């Protein structure tokens, strides 16, 4: 299955005049995920990567997408949020079909866990990346 580019999604959003993507209706065949929930607290995610991650997802398998940016197993959670960003939690989702997708690496997407092109903006491109050991 071929997914539309981030640029195509941005053009669609602008054409529809949406103020946010909460009303976003996924095209047929897209994997639907719940909105990201943040636990109470003021922790903010860090930019883990300035580009998305291409991954192969398997139908029926549950994934935990890192929403804090501190995981060493990007784009998936390794539990680093428990100490580095206690106010954040991973987004758990289960695809209904096998698919190759682009998962957000900058943690600023409005369509978590999927990339929406936000990483192309100056706020992300100018942000420092966390140190990797």
Q: What confidence category does residue 130 fall into, taking pLDDT thresholds of 50, 70 and 90?
A: confident
More reliable by pLDDT, 52 or 130: 52
Residue 31 has a pLDDT of: 57
CA distance 102 to 132: 22
CA distance 75 to 104: 7
Q: Is 119 helix (H, G, I), strand (E, B) or coil?
A: helix
Residue 32 has a pLDDT of: 55
Q: Is a pLDDT exceeding 80 seen at residue 87?
A: yes
CA distance 52 to 105: 5
CA distance 11 to 76: 28
Q: Is a pLDDT exceeding 50 seen at residue 126?
A: yes
Residue 44 has a pLDDT of: 87
The model's pLDDT over 27-76, given as tens digits with 9 standing for 90+, comes to: 555 555 554 444 445 678 999 999 999 999 999 999 999 999 999 999 99
Provide the mean pLDDT of the chain: 81
CA quadruple 24, 25, 28, 29: dihedral sign: positive
CA distance 66 to 70: 8
Query: Is-contact 53 75, C-beta < 8 A?
Result: yes
Mean pLDDT computed over 89-99: 96
Q: Is a pLDDT exceeding 90 seen at residue 26?
A: no
Q: What is the pTM of this model?
A: 0.69
CA distance 102 to 94: 15
Q: Is a pLDDT exceeding 60 seen at residue 83?
A: yes
């Amino acid at each position: 299955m071929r997914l539309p580019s981030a640029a195509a999604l941005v053009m669609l959003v602008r054409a529809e005049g949406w103020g946010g993507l909460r009303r976003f209706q996924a095209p047929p065949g897209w994997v639907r995920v719940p909105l990201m929930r943040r636990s109470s607290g003021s922790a903010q995610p860090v930019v883990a990567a300035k580009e998305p991650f291409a991954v192969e997802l398997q139908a029926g398998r549950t994934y935990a997408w890192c929403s804090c940016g501190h995981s060493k197993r990007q784009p998936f959670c390794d539990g680093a949020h428990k100490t580095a960003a206690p106010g954040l939690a991973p987004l758990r989702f289960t695809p209904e079909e096998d698919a190759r997708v682009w998962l957000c690496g900058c943690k600023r997407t409005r369509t978590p866990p999927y990339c929406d092109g936000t990483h192309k903006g100056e706020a992300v491109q100018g942000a420092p990346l966390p140190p990797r050991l």
